[in-house]
Amino acid sequence: MLSVSEMRFGYSGEDTLKSIGFAVGPGEFVALMGPNGSGKTTMMRCINRVLKVRGGSIEIGGDDVLSLSLEDLAKVCATVPADASLDFVLTVRDFVSLGRSPYVTNIWWDSREDEEMVDRALRDFGIAGYAGRRLSEVSSGERARVLLAKGVVQTPKVMLVDEPSAHLDIKYKIQVMEILKKLSRKGLSIVIASHDINLLTRFCDRVMLLSRGRIVGYGPPAEVVTEESIREVFDIEVKTVMSDGVVYVLPTGSTMDLDL
Amino acid sequence: MTNAEGGPADAEMLAGNTVIRGTAHLKRRMAAAIALGMASMLLLYVFSLTMGAYSLSFAGAWDAMVEIIKNGGPQSTDAKVLFFSRMPRSLCVIMVGAGLAAAGAVMQALIRNPLVDPYITGISSGASFGVLLFTIGGASLGALVNANYVIPVVAVIGAIAAFMLTMTVAEISGGRAMSYVLGGAVITMGLSAGTTLITSFNIDELHSVSIWLFGSFADLRWEQAGIIFFPILLVLLFLLCNARSLNKMLLGEEQAHSLGMNARTYKRNMMIVVAALTALCVAFCGVIGFVGLIVPHLTRMIVGGDHRMLLPTAMIVGANILLAADIFCKSALSYVELPIGAIISVVGVPLFIYIMAKEGRKYAM
């Protein structure tokens, strides 16, 4: 579904993303894992063309992403940010319906089909009860579902999700991951960037380990996430534990080298 | 799909039984606000026609207006007074009120901060400085061409030049909302210094300069009204057609981009449109601040932030507020007309401080 080959990017001078190549199949749930500055968010911003790549190719469903119009790209690739701007008083429904923007042909009100699709998403994500509330009036956990609902009504083939659970408590972190897992089982290809290694290993089909703009591992979590690879990439001692076939990481080392 | 919380309320939603409140209540509010606003605008408009040295009752003004519409022009003395001196002025007040309110709402969406408007970002001052330069320095040019046609052009040039300067200062200092406010303040100070210098060399023009500085609709006739009415109307219609895109801009450039729009280019182009709209508004009546700041804020409290509802409502509210302010300026003192820009500022400054104190912390300054 998503195929990236020889992708390079740099802000100035040296490449910060170096010859990135990978493929994500239909319905696959893929985790981007790596330390701060390893290139996770930059990679997503290259795929959705917020940043201009220096070279390589990106395809979604056989379409060349680099030659699609931005509107056509928005029909195949949705981006879900970590949180929404609360500066203005958009309602939950207004916000979700913005996901239909790439398809809208009416100059003013939404079409009946678009409205029905938004209503369905509001119900599916359990946010119909506060559809008329302002986005700033719902909790962080509810807002995370609103953000996902907006991505879903965009009916993309690929969804890029950046740090969706950074500000959520453990219940909502799991809820977000369960929602994403279900969406992927329905055929949506999902790429998620997060620092929550254990959530990623529990829910994702494959893990891509990034270090200094390079892919250093890509495969099933149990194969990629090892004590050696985490030590190598994150520079921290860890122990790995298997439970119900899932690999979990327990930090055991220390980073403290300051004489305070 | 099922909901992870799995509570009874959610189960009901998943069963499809939940009534989705959505935005129907906001649409009803918008319809009510526009209907009431149109009715009050008509009443204020006729009331404003009664104001002036030549005495006219409300019924007399109404009859004269009906006569003008029926006959396609004025015949009686009452109708002539209305048609040639008062109607163009009040029509301009309506258009300028709607235009400044819309310009403020659009600028706030583009910069993603409700604490900015064309006045604060220096655009209004740029337009009026352009006009001042022309009226004082371009007398010889004025002899060659009709000044009424040149004034809106120099206003637009001044506004866009000021906007470019503000935008450059804001972008090189981080591009945040506070950068625009500070950049606008600096540019406004510079333009104010320029105005003082020009005036000090042309002390005879002090009175006409003060009209530009404080704002006044007193001298507007059909010659000026005809020039700004349709361009402002066209820009307002264009902005209404952009309501959906402005909603996307509320999400920020990156999210707007992921919804299929070239947000950076769109923002730049729309800022130029806003600068031109502001320039048309202040071209003949001078600087009127705070309408673009206060009106969108008040309107958001009624109909929310969706620009499909915010923009038309803000236009109507802006027209009403400026019309009411103009009536006050004409009627407060019997011997002199108060400058409308100063009166709006007297009300606008404390309101701005209130909004800033109440909401300023919420925004990425």
Residue B21 carries which DSSP code? -
In sequence order, which residues have a C-beta less than 8 Å from that of residue B290 and are 6 or more positions away?
B117, B119, B344, B345, B347, B348, B349, B351, B352
- How far apart are alpha carbons A82 and A84 in whole angstroms? 7
In sequence order, which residues have a C-beta less than 8 Å from that of residue B209 and are 6 or more positions away?
B132, B136, B195, B198, B199, B202
Instruction: Give me the half-sphere count of Cα atoms (radius 13 Å) on the Cβ side of residue A225.
Output: 30
Region of B252 on the Ramachandran plot (φ > 0 left; ψ -120 to 50 alpha; else beta): left
- How far apart are alpha carbons B282 and B149 in whole angstroms? 14
Q: How far is C-alpha A188 from the geometric centre of its chain's CA atoms?
A: 12
Assigned domain for B2 exists: no
Sheet holding A17-24, edge to edge: A17-24, A2-9, A55-60, A63-64
**Nearest CA-CA distance, residue A143 and chain B, Å:** 14
Tens of each residue's pLDDT in chain B, 365 residues: 433 333 333 333 333 455 556 667 788 889 999 999 999 999 999 988 888 777 788 888 888 888 888 888 888 888 888 888 888 889 999 999 999 999 999 999 998 887 788 888 888 888 888 888 887 766 555 555 566 777 778 888 888 899 889 888 888 887 777 788 888 889 989 988 888 888 787 777 666 666 666 777 777 788 888 888 999 999 999 999 999 999 999 888 889 999 999 998 999 899 889 988 988 888 777 778 888 988 998 898 888 888 999 999 999 999 999 999 999 988 877 777 788 888 888 888 888 788 777 765 554 44
> With contacts defined as CB-CB under 8 Å, which chain A residues touch B250?
85, 87-88, 90
Strand pairing partners for A247? A242
- Which numeric CATH code is attached to A2-251? 3.40.50.300
**Nearest CA-CA distance, residue B345 and chain A, Å:** 25
Assigned domain for B173 exists: yes
| H or E element, residue A210 | strand A206-211
Q: Collapse the DSSP code of A189 into the 3-class scheme (helix H, G, I; strand E, B; otherwise coil) and give the result.
A: strand
pLDDT in tens, A45-60: 999 999 999 999 999 9
pLDDT bucket at A151, cuts 50 / 70 / 90: very high
Work out how many domains chain B is built from and give that number.
Answer: 1
- Whether the CB of A42 is below 8 Å from some CB of chain B: the reply is no
ipTM of the complex: 0.87
What pTM was estimated for this model as a whole? 0.84
Assigned domain for B157 exists: yes
| Range of the structural domain that residue B116 is part of | 87-360
List the domain boundaries for chain A: 2-251
Q: Which residues 149-188 of A have a C-beta within 8 angstroms of B?
A: 154, 174-175, 178-179, 182-183, 186
Instruction: Give me the half-sphere count of Cα atoms (radius 13 Å) on the Cβ side of residue B64.
Output: 25
Residue written as tokens 């994702």? A204
Assigned domain for B59 exists: no
Chain-chain contact of A75 with B362 (C-beta, under 8 angstroms): no
More confident residue, A107 or B48: B48
Q: Which residue among B1, B251, B262 sits closest to A85, beta carbon to beta carbon? A: B251
Give backbone dihedrals phi and psi of A208, rounded to 5 degrees, phi first. -110, 120
Q: How far is C-alpha A179 from the geometric centre of its chain's CA atoms?
A: 12
Give me the CATH number covering residue B330: 1.10.3470.10
Assigned domain for B195 exists: yes
Q: How far is C-alpha A66 from the geometric centre of its chain's CA atoms?
A: 20
- How far apart are alpha carbons B14 and A125 in whole angstroms? 8
| H or E element, residue B341 | helix B340-359
- Whether the CB of A99 is below 8 Å from some CB of chain B: the reply is yes
pLDDT in tens, A78-88: 999 887 776 66
Which tokens go with B77?
Answer: 């003395």
Chain A / chain B CB contacts < 8 angstroms: 131
A156: nearest Cα among A44, A52, A66, A79: A79
- Whether the CB of A119 is below 8 Å from some CB of chain B: the reply is yes
Chain-chain contact of A88 with B109 (C-beta, under 8 angstroms): yes
A91: nearest Cα among A128, A148, A132, A147: A132
Which among B1, B17, B242, B299 is the top mutation candidate for probing chain A, defined by the most A β-carbons within 10 Å of its own β-carbon? B1
